[in-house]
Amino acid sequence: MTRITNHLPTAQLQALDAAHHLHPFTENAALAQKGARVITAASGVMLTDSDGAEILDAMAGLWCVNIGYGRAELAEAAARQMRELPYYNTFFQTTHVPAIALAERLARLAPGDLNHVFYASGGSEANDTNIRLARTYWAEKGKPEKQVIISRHNAYHGSTVGAASLGGMSGMHAQGGLPIPGIVHIDEPNWYAAGGEMSPEDFGLERARQLEAKIAEIGEDKVAAFIAEPIQGAGGVIIPPESYWPEIQRICDAHEILLIADEVITGFGRTGNWFGAETYAIRPDIMTIAKGLSSGYAPIGGSLVSDEVAGVLAATEFNHGYTYSGHPVACAVALENLRILEEERIVERVREETGPYLREKWEALADHPFVGEARIVGFMGSLALTPDKPARAPFAAPAGTVGLIAREISFENNLIMRHVGDRMIIAPPLVLSKAEIDTLIERAIRTLDEAHEEARKQGLLVAG
C-alpha cells in the first residue's frame, strides 16, 4: 500500500489526487490537467506547499483559521479529549463535559439572550437546523402557517440541500432541483454594483424595504424568518450601507419575523467584535456559527438561540440531530480556541490595533487605477476591479475572467487572495501582525499592477 507522505514528488501526489479525489466547487477534469497545489504544512499565517513555497494565507483557509496555524494547545486539547472520551452522543438523555462547558462559554460570549446552542458539524448543517427550528417554533406557537423563510440573492449559507436553498447562488440552485419549497429571495445591498446614482444610505434603505414588501406580498402570517449574513462573505465581501441593518431590524420586529444572523464568517472576531451582530447592533433570534468557533482545527458549528425560541422549543420533542452534534473532541478544541482568543485579546487587537492599520492601507488601494472600490470591516475586505473607475463599470468580458487572472497572479506572488467574480477578497487570520500586513499589502499592490498589465495586454480593459 502506498503511504501518502509529504516526501512523494508533487507530480505523484497530484496524479493520485486527480485519480481518486473529487474536489468541491471545482471543475475536476480541468484541475486534473493542471494539478492541484499541495499544501503540506502551515504556521502562523504562512502556508508551505510541496515545492517549498511560503505563501501568505490572506483567506485564513476558508475564512476560518482565526487564531492562525500551528497552535499546539489545540492539538493537545484534542489528544487529551480523545484519550478521555473520544466520542459519546447527546441524544437519549445523555451529555458530557465538553458539550456542557462549550455551551456555557458560548452563552456568555454571545450577544443578548442567545443562551442556548444546538450543535452541528459545520455551518451548512446548522442552517438546515435553523430551517426546521424556525418553522417548528411558529408551529409550537400555534401559527403553523408561518413557514416561509426570506433570504437574499447571492447569499451563501452552505451546501446541503436546505442550506443551499437558503443561499442565493444561481449556480447552486441549477443543480439538484433547488431551492426547496418555502424559501424566497430578495436583492442584496450591493451599492457598488447596483446603487447607480443613489447615495449608499438611500440605497441601503431601499434594499431593506424589499423585505417589508416581500412580507406584504406573502402575508405576514406566512413568514417565519429572514436570514442574512451581517456582511456577505462568499458573495464577495459585500459590506452593507450603514442604513441597512437598522431598517431590517425594525422590519423584523414590526412584523413578528425571526431574524437569523448567519455569522459563520463574521463570528469570533472577524469584524473586530466577537460577532457581526455587535458591529451592526442587530438582535438576532437565532445565530449560525461555525468556522472561527474552532479556528477550523475541528469541524464544529451550531445554532445559538434566544431564551424565547429555546423556551418554546423546550415544550416539544425536536426530531432533529446529528451523530456528531456536540462531538466531544470538537467541543474541547473549540473551548481551547475560545480561551486563546479571549486571553490573548485577539479580537480587541483586531478592533483597536491591527484592524485600523490594515484598513488604512487597504482603503488606500482604491487609488490604484484598476480598483473601483476598496472596503474593509475588521479583517474582512474586498476590492472591486474595474476598467472604468468613475463609472464603477463592470468588464465587458464574462464576470470573473479578470478576477481569475488576478487570483492566479496573486498566488504566483505567494499571496492567497481570492476572487469572486471580479472582486478580490481577503479574510486573513486574526493574528496577522503589522509587519505581515505590510507584506500582504506589498504583494497585493504587485498583484494589482501585474494583473492590470495582463488585462491590458489581453484587451480586457473594456467596460461592459
Name the site residues for ligand PXG (rule: CB under 6 A): 62, 122-124, 127, 156-158, 229, 233-234, 262, 264-265, 288, 290, 301
* Strand ordering across the sheet containing 46-49: 39-43, 46-49, 54-57, 415-416
Q: How far is the CB of 302 from ligand PXG (least distance, A)?
A: 11
**For the residues of 181-238, what is the DSSP string, one character each?**
TTEEEE----HHHH-TTS-HHHHHHHHHHHHHHHHHHH-GGGEEEEEE-SSBSTTT-B
Q: How far is the CB of 50 from ligand PXG (least distance, A)?
A: 22
The residues with which 286 forms a beta bridge, in sequence order, are 260, 305
Minimal distance, residue 234 CB to ligand PXG, in Å: 4
Minimum separation from the CB atom of position 159 to ligand PXG (A): 6
- CB of 364: closest distance to ligand PXG in angstroms? 25
CB proximity list for 281: less than 8 A, separation 6 or greater: 245, 246, 249
Q: Helices 434-457 and 355-364 meet at what angle, rounded to 10?
A: 20
Cβ 247 vs Cβ 172: under 8 Å: no
In order, the DSSP letters of 398-441 are PTTHHHHHHHHHHHHTTEE-EEETTEEEE---TT--HHHHHHHH
**Least gap, CB of 427 to ligand PXG (angstroms):** 9
Residue nearer to ligand PXG on the CB measure, 167 or 195: 167
Q: What is the dihedral of CA 358, 359, 363, 365, to 10 degrees?
A: 10
* 3-state percent helix, strand, coil for the chain, nearest multiple of 5: 45, 15, 40
**Residue placing its CB nearer to ligand PXG in the complex, 19 or 30:** 30
Cis peptide leading into residue 179 (ω within 30°) = yes
> In this complex, which beta carbon is closest to ligand PXG, that of residue 158 or of residue 403?
158
**Of 397 and 427, which has the nearer Cβ to ligand PXG?**
427
Letter for the amino acid at 286? I
Q: Find the shortest distance in angstroms from Cβ 463 to ligand PXG.
A: 27
Residue 101's Cα: distance from chain center in Å? 25
Question: Considering only CA atoms, which of 236, 310, 265, 247 is closest in space to residue 61?
Answer: 265
* Closer residue to ligand PXG (CB): 25 or 92: 25
Q: Are 38 and 11 contacting, i.e. CB atoms less than 8 angstroms apart? A: no
Distance of closest approach, residue 122 Cβ to ligand PXG, in angstroms: 3
User: Which residue's C-beta sits nearest to ligand PXG?
Assistant: 123
Residue 363: partners with Cβ closer than 8 Å, 6 or more residues away:
374, 375, 376
Measured from the CB atom, the residue of 420 and 460 that comes closer to ligand PXG is 420
CA gyration radius, the chain: 22
262 vs 285, which CB is nearer to ligand PXG? 262
Nearest CB to ligand PXG, comparing residues 261 and 460 = 261
Q: Which CB, 146 or 291, lies closer to ligand PXG? A: 291
Question: Rounded to the nearest whole angstrom, what is the least distance from the CB of residue 338 to ligand PXG in the complex?
Answer: 18
Q: How far is the CB of 127 from ligand PXG (least distance, A)?
A: 6
Contact 406, 453 (CB under 8 A): no
Q: Are 183 and 165 in contact (CB under 8 A)?
A: yes
Choice between 265 and 331, CB closer to ligand PXG = 265
Question: Closest separation between CB of residue 156 and ligand PXG, Å?
Answer: 5
* Closer by beta carbon to ligand PXG, 118 or else 206: 118
